[in-house]
């Protein structure tokens, strides 16, 4: 899931580049070779668009929107107390509306135009130059989709990512300051992350513009920083889940614990709502992962089945570990396990095989279980709905695990070398890929965590993020919105 057409603009390079290019990781540089004869300009044409691909992308976009509203809203809403149910629904719904407009305004341009390695430019702000005839690249030479189809698909990702964050500090945040945070966070964190991981020139353009040195090593290419590094993230392990999870941790630390945390019972008010939400998330995730292939082909089917079986394995693994530890499996546990599996398979969905996907889902579920039941208690932070423990931790397991499951020796898909025309299968090195994946995870944690912490702190010290104590005790539904989710 990546790219549209190429354009220009940009912001300055991030200081994190220094962290990620320390001498221990550096490679010997060779002098650039003399430039080759310029390739003839390539212009995609309408006959390169397949109606089936276009239809699949539009359906996938609707499925991913379903993940936010109503799926995530119901999943989160059922987990909070009844007095805060409506506030969570309102937060998720409004974030989707805001993110959609921000995406059209400047998000798409910052994420998916060429600028520098870290962020795009503003040449497509407010979708300038995008119309019913412009095209977006897929991962196959000579195959394109309408650019609007790509815009709307990526829009749904921009909608759900900040919505995930709110679960970390549910029941104790002001509505409008949170919405301001979302606008700023999308602009300074999400869009640069999407650009670094998913932006590239496309298979037909990249081969024509890449610059290599005398040894054949890539010197420069029209791609985001992590894409150019070779990081694999099929559908958003770094961009969506680690990104949102670490931001959620920053938020819950700055805002503080809920009143009565660990001294009062705070059970979910409706596990029925949570179950419905989790089920809809599972359905919508097929669009999230399989849609990220941007085409309707064999790899799409691979991503679809991997998503299915990894989730099933994760739900069952959580239930089994609960049986062992607590002597009873719980609905909440099975639903949480399913989400952990969905998170973990996200970056690997189009790269692995069903067998290794089952293992990845089960392993991620068990790790997330111990994190939210043991590690969180030892660290003593109040992540209300375990956004960090499920999304960030699950995303880390999935992102690193992608290097393993993608290995063709284990039935994985490997990767394609798009610097040649047409693209060919690349030589896979699991050890090198593991290092690359770890570096991508580290960048995401440091960049998103650091910027999010600064942003939350600045907003808290200026306009304030936390409502008065009496508002919290009575509930945010009535005090923030003047209505209740349930009336007698």
Domain ranges of the chain: 48-472
Residue 362 in tokens: 């089960």
Looking at residue 13, what is its pLDDT?
38
Decide if pLDDT at 24 tops 60.
no
Model confidence at 222, in pLDDT bands (50, 70, 90)? confident
Looking at residue 220, what is its pLDDT?
65
DSSP 8-state assignment for residue 248:
H
CA dihedral 337, 343, 346, 352 (to 10 degrees): -40
Decide if pLDDT at 269 tops 70.
yes
48-472: CATH topology is Ammonium transporter fold (1.10.3430)
Looking at residue 21, what is its pLDDT?
43
Which whole-number Å values give the CA distances from 180 to 397, 432, 462, in the listed order?
31, 40, 12
Query: What number is the average pLDDT over the span 207-226?
Result: 76
Query: Percent of the chain beyond pLDDT 90?
Result: 83
Decide if pLDDT at 408 tops 90.
yes
Decide if pLDDT at 11 tops 70.
no
Decide if pLDDT at 420 tops 60.
yes
Which whole-number Å values give the CA distances from 175 to 81, 149, 440, 466, in the listed order?
17, 32, 32, 9
Question: How much is the CA Rg of the chain, to the nearest whole Å?
Answer: 22
The residue among 183 and 32 whose pLDDT is bigger is: 183
Looking at residue 217, what is its pLDDT?
67
Which residues lie closer than 8 Å to 400 by C-beta, 6 or more apart?
Answer: 434, 437, 438, 441
Decide if pLDDT at 14 tops 60.
no
Decide if pLDDT at 391 tops 70.
yes
Query: What number is the average pLDDT over the span 132-153?
Result: 97
Which residues lie closer than 8 Å to 3 by C-beta, 6 or more apart?
Answer: 112, 136, 137, 150, 198, 199, 200, 201, 202
Decide if pLDDT at 7 tops 70.
no
Give the chain's mean pLDDT: 92
Per-residue pLDDT tens for 447-462?
999 999 999 999 999 9
Element (H, E) at 425: strand 424-425
Which of 1-15, 205-219, 232-246, 420-434 bottoms out in mean pLDDT, i.e. has the lowest?
Answer: 1-15
Q: Which of 106, 141, 152, 154 is nearest to 7 (CA)?
A: 106
The whole-model pTM stands at: 0.91
Model confidence at 173, in pLDDT bands (50, 70, 90)? very high
Looking at residue 164, what is its pLDDT?
99
User: Is the C-alpha dihedral spanning 435, 436, 441, 443 positive or negative?
Assistant: positive
């Amino acid at each position: 899931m990546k790219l549209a057409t190429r354009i220009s603009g940009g912001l300055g390079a991030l200081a994190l580049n220094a962290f990620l290019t320390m001498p221990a990781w550096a490679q010997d540089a060779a002098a650039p070779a003399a430039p080759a004869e310029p390739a003839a300009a390539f212009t995609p044409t309408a006959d390169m668009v397949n109606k089936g691909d276009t239809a699949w992308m539009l359906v996938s976009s609707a499925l991913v929107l379903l993940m936010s509203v109503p799926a995530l809203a119901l999943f989160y809403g059922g987990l909070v107390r009844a007095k805060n149910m409506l506030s969570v629904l309102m937060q998720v719904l409004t974030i989707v509306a805001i993110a959609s407009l921000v995406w059209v305004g400047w998000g798409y341009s910052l994420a998916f135009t060429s600028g520098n390695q870290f962020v795009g430019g503003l040449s497509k702000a407010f979708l300038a130059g995008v119309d019913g005839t412009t095209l977006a690249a897929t991962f196959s030479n000579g195959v394109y989709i309408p650019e609007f189809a790509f815009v709307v698909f990526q829009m749904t990702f921009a909608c759900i990512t900040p919505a995930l964050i709110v679960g970390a500090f549910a029941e104790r945040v002001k509505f409008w300051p949170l919405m301001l945070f979302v606008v700023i966070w999308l602009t300074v964190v999400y869009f640069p992350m999407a650009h670094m991981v998913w932006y590239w020139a496309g298979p037909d353009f990249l081969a024509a513009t890449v610059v290599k040195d005398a040894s054949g090593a890539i010197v420069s290419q029209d791609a985001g920083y992590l894409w150019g590094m070779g990081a694999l993230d099929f559908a958003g392990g770094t961009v969506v889940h680690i990104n949102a999870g670490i931001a959620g941790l920053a938020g819950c630390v700055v805002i503080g614990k809920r009143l009565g945390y660990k001294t009062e019972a705070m059970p979910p008010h409706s596990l029925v709502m949570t179950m419905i939400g989790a089920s809809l998330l599972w359905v919508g995730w097929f669009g999230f992962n399989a849609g990220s292939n941007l085409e309707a082909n064999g790899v799409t089917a691979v991503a679809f089945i991997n998503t299915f079986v990894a989730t099933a394995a994760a739900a069952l693994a959580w239930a089994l570990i609960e049986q062992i530890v607590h002597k009873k499996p719980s609905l909440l546990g099975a639903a949480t396990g399913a989400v952990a599996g969905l998170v973990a398979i996200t970056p690997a969905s189009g790269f692995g095989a069903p067998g290794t996907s089952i293992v990845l889902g089960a392993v991620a579920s068990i790790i997330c279980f111990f994190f939210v039941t043991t590690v969180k208690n030892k660290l003593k932070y109040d992540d209300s709905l375990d956004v960090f423990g499920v999304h960030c931790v699950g995303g880390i397991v999935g992102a690193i695990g992608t290097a393993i499951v993608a290995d063709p020796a284990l039935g994985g898909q490997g990767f394609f070398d798009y610097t040649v025309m047409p693209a060919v299968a690349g030589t896979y090195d699991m050890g090198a890929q593991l290092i690359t994946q770890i570096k991508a995870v580290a960048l995401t944690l440091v960049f998103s965590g650091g910027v999010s912490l600064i942003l939350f702190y600045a907003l808290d010290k200026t306009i304030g993020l936390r409502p008065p104590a009496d508002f919290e005790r009575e509930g945010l539904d009535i005090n923030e919105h003047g209505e209740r989710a349930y009336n007698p």
